[in-house]
């Protein structure tokens, strides 16, 4: 591995100052499960690696604030999977967090790192899009709250500017009953990167949000306002017609070694229908007092 | 900031103080600086699990962690499973079922199984498969490995 300097700041202010000073020559280290691989492969050669895990302000990992669940930048996937508020209110996020890597990876990898790494196949992007998460960013000019849909830009690219770091990801508690589900397509059972990531969320009132990734440069969020997908009386054909239109912007890469574009596009429809079905089941349970 | 750092950590119950290069992994430090070669280096990208150890109560791939990140941590490696030079019941179960073929992955399998049984003392076969899905065995001895974990669980082992 190429050598670098290691910084272990105790505060967010110290971290931001270092990031501002070093710019592109600095890299943040949270779980390190992606970063260490890039360092070892010499894909990145930062002058300084800044470990955020000793920043006191980033504890506790997960807490409730003003109608939102705040997941700090040092929260690992295992924390999220085991959190009772996440399980109760954001089951699709727990379903995505529990399939990231292996047990060992989930014990280190953070949610913030998963989003900042900018992989189009990041498991947690679709549920964060469906749940309308907001990324809390602190930089030299202060704090910005960026909707996740604006934060995700493209492969390896986020809305973070020089000197900025993510301190938390906040998920608003739904203001009306919602059912949501996450599902993915992999080549095998067990540990694998996804060929499709997909989350479907249905609100009481009929609005359905669908987010899908690994079929283009970034995960996409689309919304059905017509109510057809949530309508018990709509036929499967009606729903398939709406779903097809929602997948219109999928553009899977022909160069991927995981699955061909034709297979991904075909499976996208299958996974979309399945996730919708599960989301509707969960919504109906929410509606039973 | 520095490219070398003094760290202190507890490894298998003993406090260790050492200077490490900041770009060395915890796996490097265990094997090269502390002579604990039971932890194996294999894929170095977090896919095979051969380097699995326990850090502050959670299983991790030691190839994906810098040694400096473990400053102040409580670490258990495969060398820490045996007590008073007696194999742990989990290790005994691996021997009895013939779970170790070439043996290279076994340190990692043991540590992953140890973590699984601490969290879930009576796993189903599916839960064993899930819990060990981050540990590859090139001999494909998965049947015997899973059997060993179930047998150890039956005897109340961790």
pLDDT single digits (tens) A104-161 = 999 999 999 999 999 999 999 999 999 999 999 999 999 999 999 999 999 999 999 9
Q: Domain of A226: which CATH number?
A: 3.30.390.50
Q: Are residues A70 and A154 in the same domain?
A: yes
Q: What value does the mean pLDDT take over residues A257-274?
A: 94
Q: Are residues B66 and B22 in the same domain?
A: yes
User: What is the domain range of residue A99?
Assistant: 58-172
Q: Is the pLDDT of residue A94 over 70?
A: yes
Task: Tell if the CB–CB gap between A103 and B112 is shorter than 8 Å.
Answer: yes
Measured in degrees and rounded to the nearest 5, phi and psi for residue B17 equal -120, 130
Task: Tell if the CB–CB gap between A36 and B66 is shorter than 8 Å.
Answer: yes
Q: Are residues A208 and A253 in the same domain?
A: yes
Three-state SS at A194: coil
Q: Are residues A148 and A245 in the same domain?
A: no
The pTM assigned to this predicted structure is 0.96
Q: Domain of A90: which CATH number?
A: 3.30.465.10
Q: Are residues B97 and B69 in the same domain?
A: no
Which tokens in the block code for residue A181?
């589900």
Query: What is the rounded CA–CA span in Å between residue A262 and residue A258?
Result: 12
Q: What value does the mean pLDDT take over residues A150-174?
A: 97
Q: Are residues A161 and A194 in the same domain?
A: no
Query: Which of A32, A51, A70 is the endpoint of a domain?
Result: A51
Q: How confident is the model at residue A255 (pLDDT cuts 50, 70, 90)?
A: confident
Query: Which of A116, A142, A172 is the endpoint of a domain?
Result: A172
Residue B10 is predicted with a pLDDT of 98
Q: Which residues of B touch A6 (CB under 8 A)?
A: 1-3, 5, 22, 66, 68
Q: Are residues A153 and A237 in the same domain?
A: no
Q: Are residues B114 and B65 in the same domain?
A: no
Q: Å from B59 to nearest chain A CA?
A: 5
Q: Are residues A219 and A260 in the same domain?
A: yes
Q: Å from B58 to nearest chain A CA?
A: 6
- Say if residues A212 and A128 touch (Cβ distance below 8 Å): no
Q: Are residues B94 and B75 in the same domain?
A: no
Three-state SS at A156: coil
- Give the best residue of A29, A48, A102 to mutate against chain B (max B CB count within 10 A): A102
Residue tagged 């981050």 (tokens): B134
Report strand pairing: A196-203 vs A208-213.
antiparallel
Q: Å from A236 to nearest chain B CA?
A: 34
Beta-sheet strand order (sheet of A208-213): A178-185, A196-203, A208-213, A220-224
- Say if residues B68 and A6 touch (Cβ distance below 8 Å): yes
Residue tagged 């203001």 (tokens): A175
Q: How confident is the model at residue A190 (pLDDT cuts 50, 70, 90)?
A: confident
**Helical H segments across chain A, by residue range:** 12-22, 35-40, 77-82, 84-89, 91-97, 103-106, 111-116, 125-130, 148-151, 236-246, 261-287
Domain count, chain A: 3
Q: Domain of B149: which CATH number?
A: 1.10.150.120
Query: What is the rounded CA–CA span in Å between residue A176 and residue A163?
Result: 37
Q: Domain of B43: which CATH number?
A: 3.10.20.30
B145: Cβ contacts below 8 Å, ≥ 6 apart: B94, B97, B99, B109, B113, B132, B137
Domain count, chain B: 2
Query: Which of B26, B45, B80 is the endpoint of a domain?
Result: B80
First to last CA, chain B: 40
Residue tagged 């990531």 (tokens): A197
Residues forming a β-bridge with A76 = A110
Beta-sheet strand order (sheet of A62-65): A62-65, A68-72, A165-172, A134-139, A142-147
Query: What is the rounded CA–CA span in Å between residue A14 and residue A23?
Result: 14
Q: How confident is the model at residue A192 (pLDDT cuts 50, 70, 90)?
A: confident
Q: Are residues B76 and B93 in the same domain?
A: no
Average pLDDT, chain A: 95
Query: What is the rounded CA–CA span in Å between residue A146 and residue B87?
Result: 53
Q: Is the pLDDT of residue A44 over 80?
A: yes
Residue B91 is predicted with a pLDDT of 97
Residue B2 is predicted with a pLDDT of 67
Q: Are residues B47 and B107 in the same domain?
A: no
Q: Count the neighbouring beta carbons within 10 Å of the beta carbon of residue A11.
A: 13
Q: Are residues A197 and A131 in the same domain?
A: no
State pLDDT tens for residues A7-43.
999 999 999 999 999 999 999 999 999 999 999 999 9
Q: How confident is the model at residue A219 (pLDDT cuts 50, 70, 90)?
A: very high
Determine the number of helices (DSSP H) and then strands (DSSP E) in chain A: 11, 14
Three-state SS at A258: coil
Query: Which of B63, B80, B97 is the endpoint of a domain?
Result: B80
Residue A188 is predicted with a pLDDT of 82
User: What is the domain range of residue B36?
Assistant: 4-80
Query: Which of A144, A172, A200 is the endpoint of a domain?
Result: A172
Query: What is the rounded CA–CA span in Å between residue A276 and residue B14?
Result: 53
Q: Domain of A24: which CATH number?
A: 3.30.43.10
Q: What value does the mean pLDDT take over residues A178-186?
A: 96
Could you say which residues of chain B have pLDDT below 70?
1-2
Q: Supply the ipTM of this predicted assembly.
A: 0.96
Q: Which residues of A touch B47 (CB under 8 A)?
A: 102, 191
Nearest residue of chain B to residue A53 (CA atoms): B69
Computed over its alpha carbons, how large is the radius of gyration of chain A?
19
Residue A160 is predicted with a pLDDT of 97
Query: What is the rounded CA–CA span in Å between residue B104 and residue B50?
Result: 7
Query: What is the rounded CA–CA span in Å between residue A243 and residue B126?
Result: 34
């Amino acid at each position: 591995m190429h050598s670098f300097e290691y910084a272990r700041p105790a505060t967010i202010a110290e971290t931001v100052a270092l990031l501002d000073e070093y710019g592109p020559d600095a890299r943040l280290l949270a779980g390190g499960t992606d970063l260490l691989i890039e360092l070892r492969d010499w894909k990145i050669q930062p002058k300084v690696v800044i470990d955020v895990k000793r920043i006191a302000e980033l504890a506790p990992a997960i807490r409730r604030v003003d109608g939102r669940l705040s997941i700090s930048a040092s929260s690992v996937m295992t924390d999220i999977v085991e959190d009772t508020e996440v399980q109760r209110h954001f089951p699709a996020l727990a379903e995505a967090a529990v399939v990231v890597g292996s047990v060992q990876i989930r014990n280190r990898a953070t949610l913030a790192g998963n989003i900042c790494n900018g992989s189009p196949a990041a498991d947690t992007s679709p549920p964060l899009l469906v749940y309308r998460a907001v990324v809390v960013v602190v930089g030299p000019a202060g704090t910005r709250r960026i909707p996740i849909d604006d934060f995700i830009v493209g492969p390896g690219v986020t809305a973070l500017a020089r000197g900025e770091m993510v301190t938390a990801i906040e998920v608003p508690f739904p203001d009306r009953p919602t059912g949501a589900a996450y599902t993915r397509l992999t080549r095998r059972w067990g540990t694998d990167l996804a060929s499709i990531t997909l989350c479907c969320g249905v609100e009481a009132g009929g609005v359905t949000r669908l987010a899908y990734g690994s079929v283009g440069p970034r995960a996409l969020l689309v919304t059905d306002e017509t109510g057809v997908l949530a309508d018990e009386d709509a036929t499967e054909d009606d729903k398939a017609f709406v779903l097809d239109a929602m997948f219109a912007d999928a553009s899977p890469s022909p160069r991927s070694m995981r699955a061909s574009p034709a297979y991904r596009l075909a499976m996208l429809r299958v996974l979309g229908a399945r996730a919708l079905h599960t989301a509707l089941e969960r919504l109906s349970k929410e509606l039973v007092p | 900031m520095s490219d070398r750092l003094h760290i202190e950590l507890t490894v298998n119950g003993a406090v260790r103080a050492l200077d490490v290069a900041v770009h060395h992994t915890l796996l490097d430090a265990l094997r090269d600086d502390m002579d604990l070669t039971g932890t194996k280096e294999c894929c170095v990208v977090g896919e095979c699990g051969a380097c699995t150890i326990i850090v502050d109560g959670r299983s991790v791939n030691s190839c994906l962690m810098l040694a400096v990140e473990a400053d102040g941590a409580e670490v258990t490696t495969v060398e820490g499973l045996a007590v008073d030079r007696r194999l742990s019941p989990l290790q005994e179960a691996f021997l009895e079922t013939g779970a170790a073929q070439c043996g290279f992955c076994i340190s990692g399998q043991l540590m992953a199984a140890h973590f699984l049984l601490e969290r879930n003392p009576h796993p189903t076969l599916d839960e064993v498969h899930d819990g060990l899905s981050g540990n590859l065995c090139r001999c494909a001895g998965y049947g015997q490995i899973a059997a060993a974990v179930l047998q150890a669980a039956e005897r109340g082992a961790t």
